[in-house]
């Protein structure tokens, strides 16, 4: 069917009739404060942007919000948003022939030029297939015509897009701001020329930029034992390795300028500003820290301007200062004090994501809570024992943690949350049981400092999943049964303690979702058959505990993988060797593979590595390879204007 035959009009009249029959219909209505609807006919390149999860999770996503604004600021370019629909609406849409739609103008997703999906987790893959099918876009990229949109993956999970290689047309790794504009220019030129060479020619032009990965232009060859022999381009002019995009001056990209204000309740009810990008602490488990190098700080004045513009545009009463380790910003003390001073009368609260134990100080904490409510503090030691923290390069001693917690309790906090992982490389039962001991010491210290017994500590445990482009990409993953047995011992150790156990909350996920995430994170193209089988078996919203079905994934693995002579454990609990070609080796995150391997050996030797922000370079490869460099302050500037925002309002009234 040609686009010309499909009038691009709103599907809302047909959708509206279905909304009284679904939960939370408000999430499908659109019209949020600061949303944008542009004229279809006067736009020559049109993007549908999707965070493949429910509205309440997808709308606050900074990545999609930034790209939405960057694209819509461009003359002749239109961007609209779409989110995953819940199963109740999906069933009605199928019954009544309503296609996947955008929430901005309720246009059908298939009518757009580019369908861009941002994956922060691999568990969103089945939601992508649902959206493609509802949109009327063939699931397999090979079956699409010149009239179907280019299906483009981005986000952290796109650093290994091989498991979804059959379903996407292209992937972008790294920062999206400049990348989407470059892609827009390529699409615009191809359309202006009359779409020569069809879909294949457009994808070839994108691939030849060097910064867009098009899986169909690469052949994967396998060894007899199932490992990859090599990945080789099958077209001339297509690069052997595809490069990561890195935005170097964040002050030039002060987005979002007009943050979206949700209509329905979402997971984050606040205005957020990214204060820096990248992290060089070198935690070996952390994919986000590895793939976003180098560190690039936004200036203190840039942060101040973004906060001021964002608050005016939204009316939010809380500002989140976002990054991978916000307390590491070289001017965080001045940022926090300056913002707290400025918005004291407005009672604007500030928040940081979880704080590093060694970056926490009470002055910073007091500034953050001066205008807002004093909620609990979250710290992430990640490993229970000193030994395992050396393995993962999380350089926090137990003394550091106890001293920090004592300071917090002594200054009026009553609740502390500690985040750990289970299943880390070389981990033993004893390493995990140390978590219980640490939690008890935290409660004991809190009682000692405050003289009160109403001290609370919550221990939250996530399962470790080895990720691509990290030193742990070669590591075996702990199996489901072993993970659950280890967590059970820890739970018994906490609950069995009469003196402290009642004051320690314990939250954990069993090992099942983690092992599936492990399959998807380190999978290759053959895993696509598993994803499709899960989708066809009804798999949706796999990131949600109530929707995730381990049995469904196991059935799919058992039906799809034997054809390749493989099974689930081959992708998850198997250790990789140094000579193995990994599925993502042709995607260049800037990190030198030899450096990653050396760091993996350092982990096995329990050797810690310093943060290269403050020490000589360790040759990870990122800066020279990508022609980038670490950008940190201090700038020496203060947050201006220093006047309290409402100072003149009373006199004027």
DSSP 40: S
Is the predicted pLDDT of residue 449 greater than 70, yes or no?
yes
pLDDT-derived band at 370 (thresholds 50, 70, 90) equals confident
CA distance 402 to 624: 40
Q: What is the pLDDT of residue 651?
A: 41
Contact 417, 378 (CB under 8 A): yes
- Residue 419's Cβ-count burial label (10 Å; 0-12, 13-18, 19+) is middle
Residue bearing the bigger pLDDT, 258 or 357? 258
One CATH from 3.40.50.720, 3.30.750.210, 3.90.1300.10, 1.10.260.40 for 270-374+610-640 = 3.30.750.210
Instruction: Provide the whole-model pTM.
Output: 0.95
Please choose, from the candidates 78, 89, 102, the residue with its C-alpha nearest in 3D space to the C-alpha of residue 17: 89
Is the predicted pLDDT of residue 647 greater than 50, yes or no?
no
What are the structural domain ranges in the chain? 11-238, 270-374+610-640, 376-589
Is the predicted pLDDT of residue 124 greater than 80, yes or no?
yes
- Mean pLDDT check: name the lowest of 325-334, 540-549, 582-591, 601-610: 325-334
pLDDT-derived band at 378 (thresholds 50, 70, 90) equals confident
Is the predicted pLDDT of residue 233 greater than 80, yes or no?
yes
Assess whether the region 11-238 and the region 376-589 belong to the same CATH fold.
Answer: no
Average pLDDT (351-374) is 77
> What order do you get walking across the sheet with 271-274 strand by strand?
271-274, 318-322, 349-351
Is the predicted pLDDT of residue 213 greater than 80, yes or no?
yes
Structure tokens at 474: 């070669």
Three-state DSSP class for residue 607:
coil
Is the predicted pLDDT of residue 388 greater than 50, yes or no?
yes
Is the predicted pLDDT of residue 439 greater than 60, yes or no?
yes
Which value, to the nearest 10 degrees, does the dihedral of the CA atoms of residues 207, 211, 216, 220 take? 130
Query: What fold is seen in the domain 376-589?
Result: Transcription Regulator spoIIAA (3.30.750)
- Mean pLDDT check: name the lowest of 25-39, 233-247, 344-358, 385-399: 344-358
List, in order, residues 6 or more apart from 207 with CB less than 8 Å away: 170, 213, 214, 217, 235, 237, 238, 239
Q: How far is CA 483 from CA 112, 488, 491, 505, 550, in A?
A: 44, 9, 12, 19, 15
Is the predicted pLDDT of residue 652 greater than 80, yes or no?
no
Average pLDDT (556-576) is 98
Instruction: Report the chain's mean pLDDT, rounded to a whole number.
Output: 92
Q: What is the pLDDT of residue 496?
A: 93
Is the predicted pLDDT of residue 242 greater than 60, yes or no?
yes
pLDDT-derived band at 648 (thresholds 50, 70, 90) equals very low
pLDDT-derived band at 653 (thresholds 50, 70, 90) equals very low
Q: Tens digits of per-residue pLDDT, 458-503?
A: 999 999 999 999 999 999 999 999 999 999 999 999 999 999 999 9
Highest mean pLDDT among 44-48, 349-353, 374-378, 505-509: 44-48
Is the predicted pLDDT of residue 640 greater than 70, yes or no?
no
Three-state DSSP class for residue 400:
helix
pLDDT-derived band at 64 (thresholds 50, 70, 90) equals very high
Is the predicted pLDDT of residue 360 greater than 60, yes or no?
yes
Residue bearing the bigger pLDDT, 166 or 376? 166
- Residue 490's Cβ-count burial label (10 Å; 0-12, 13-18, 19+) is buried
Is the predicted pLDDT of residue 643 greater than 50, yes or no?
no
Contact 211, 245 (CB under 8 A): yes
Is the predicted pLDDT of residue 437 greater than 60, yes or no?
yes
Q: How far is CA 160 from CA 137, 214, 455, 582, in A?
A: 23, 12, 43, 10
Q: What is the pLDDT of residue 354?
A: 65
Q: Tell whether domain 11-238 is in CATH 3.40.50.280.
A: yes
pLDDT above 90: percentage of residues in the chain: 80
- Residue 421's Cβ-count burial label (10 Å; 0-12, 13-18, 19+) is buried
Q: Tens digits of per-residue pLDDT, 506-554?
A: 999 889 999 999 999 999 999 999 999 999 999 999 999 999 999 999 9
Please choose, from the candidates 416, 417, 418, 414, the residue with its C-alpha nearest in 3D space to the C-alpha of residue 449: 414
For residue 1, count other CB atoms closer than 10 A to its CB.
10
Please choose, from the candidates 43, 48, 47, 46, the residue with its C-alpha nearest in 3D space to the C-alpha of residue 76: 43
Is the predicted pLDDT of residue 25 greater than 60, yes or no?
yes
Is the predicted pLDDT of residue 286 greater than 70, yes or no?
yes
Q: What is the pLDDT of residue 646?
A: 47
Average pLDDT (142-149) is 98
Alpha-helical runs (H) found in 161-228? 177-192, 198-207
For residue 420, the cross-strand partners are: 382, 461
């Amino acid at each position: 069917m040609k686009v010309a035959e499909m009038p691009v009009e709103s599907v809302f009249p047909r959708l509206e009739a279905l909304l009284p029959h679904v939960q939370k219909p408000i999430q499908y209505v659109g019209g949020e404060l600061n949303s944008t609807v542009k004229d279809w006919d006067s736009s020559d390149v049109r993007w549908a942007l999707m965070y493949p999860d429910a509205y309440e999770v997808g709308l606050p996503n900074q990545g999609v919000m930034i790209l939405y604004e960057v694209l819509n600021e461009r003359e002749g370019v239109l961007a609209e948003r779409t989110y995953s629909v819940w199963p109740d609406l999906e069933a009605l849409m199928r019954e009544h022939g309503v296609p996947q739609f955008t929430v901005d103008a309720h246009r059908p997703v298939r009518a757009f030029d580019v369908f861009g999906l941002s994956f922060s987790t691999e568990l969103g893959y089945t939601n992508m297939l649902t959206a493609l099918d509802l949109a009327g876009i063939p699931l397999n990229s090979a079956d699409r015509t010149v009239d179907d949109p280019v299906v483009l993956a981005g986000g952290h999970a796109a650093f290994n897009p091989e498991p979804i290689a059959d379903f996407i047309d292209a992937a972008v790794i790294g920062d999206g701001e400049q990348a989407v504009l470059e892609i827009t220019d390529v699409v615009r030129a191809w359309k202006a020329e009359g779409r020569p060479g069809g879909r294949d020619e457009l994808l070839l032009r994108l691939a030849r930029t060097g910064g867009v990965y098009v899986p169909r232009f690469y052949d994967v060859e396998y060894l007899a034992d199932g490992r990859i022999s090599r990945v080789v381009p099958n077209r001339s002019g297509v690069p052997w390795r595809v490069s990561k995009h890195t935005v170097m001056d964040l002050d030039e990209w002060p987005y979002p300028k007009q943050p979206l204000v949700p209509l329905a309740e979402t997971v984050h009810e606040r205005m957020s500003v990214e204060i820096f990008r990248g992290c060089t602490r070198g935690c070996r488990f952390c994919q986000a820290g590895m793939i976003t190098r180098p560190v690039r700080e936004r200036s203190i004045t840039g942060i101040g301007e973004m906060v001021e513009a964002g608050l005016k545009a939204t009316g939010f009463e809380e500002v989140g200062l976002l990054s991978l380790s916000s307390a590491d910003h070289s001017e965080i003390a001045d940022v926090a004090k300056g913002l707290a001073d400025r918005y004291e009368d407005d009672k604007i609260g500030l928040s940081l994501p979880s704080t590093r134990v060694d970056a926490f100080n009470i002055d910073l904490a007091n500034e953050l809570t001066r205008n807002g409510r004093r909620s609990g503090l979250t710290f992430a030691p990640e490993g229970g024992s000193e030994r395992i923290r050396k393995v993962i390069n999380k350089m926090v001693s137990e003394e550091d943690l106890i001293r920090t917690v004592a300071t917090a309790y002594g200054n009026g906090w009553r609740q502390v949350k500690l985040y750990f992982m289970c299943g880390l490389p070389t981990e033993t039962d004893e390493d995990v049981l140390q978590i219980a001991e640490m939690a008890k010491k935290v409660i004991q210290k809190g009682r000692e400092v405050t003289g009160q017994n109403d001290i609370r500590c919550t221990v939250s445990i996530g399962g470790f999943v080895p990720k691509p482009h990290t030193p742990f990409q070669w590591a075996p993953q702990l199996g489901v049964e072993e993970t659950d047995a280890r967590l059970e011992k820890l739970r018994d150790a906490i609950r069995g303690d009469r003196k402290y156990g009642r004051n320690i909350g314990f939250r954990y996920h069993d090992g099942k979702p983690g092992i599936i995430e492990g399959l998807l994170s380190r999978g290759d193209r053959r895993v696509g058959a598993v994803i499709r089988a899960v989708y066809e078996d009804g798999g949706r919203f796999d990131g949600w505990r109530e929707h995730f079905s381990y049995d469904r994934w196991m059935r799919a693995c058992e039906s799809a993988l034997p054809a390749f002579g493989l099974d689930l454990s081959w992708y998850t609990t198997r250790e990789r060797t140094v000579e193995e070609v990994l599925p993502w080796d042709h995607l260049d995150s800037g990190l030198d593979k030899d450096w990653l391997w050396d760091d993996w050996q350092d982990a096995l030797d329990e050797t810690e590595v310093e943060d290269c922000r403050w020490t000589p370079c360790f040759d990870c490869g990122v800066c020279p390879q990508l022609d980038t460099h670490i950008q940190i302050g201090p700038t020496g500037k203060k947050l201006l204007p220093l006047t309290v925002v409402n100072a003149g309002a009373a006199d004027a009234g």
